[in-house]
Amino acid sequence: MIDIDTSTIEVDEPLLAAAAAIGTNPIDWVLTGGDDHALVATFPPDTELPQGFSAIGVVNARDESAPVVQVDGKPWHGSAGFEHFS
């Protein structure tokens, strides 16, 4: 199970302003957008992260009754991400 902690994600001012202009949550764009490309990796607990990496959540063993992805401890029901050919 993956649990993303949105309080650890920095949202740049231009994105904040654009989201405010149309009344939406910029975190939705951060989690589901397709215009940026970043490296995501997992590391064992208590590992010093390499330079340039930031912890944005945790990965735990999945209980079959639990959702695979959670955001801020709650099941994620939003988009699964950008779909290039839809």
Dihedrals phi, psi of 85, to nearest 5 degrees: -120, 40
Q: Is 68 within 8 Å of 20 (Cβ atoms)?
A: no
Q: What is the pLDDT of residue 11?
A: 92
The tokens for 82 are: 């950008």
pLDDT digits (tens, 9 = 90+) for 40-73: 889 998 999 999 899 999 998 888 887 888 999 9
pLDDT digits (tens, 9 = 90+) for 13-48: 999 999 999 999 999 888 887 666 667 889 998 999
Reported pTM: 0.79
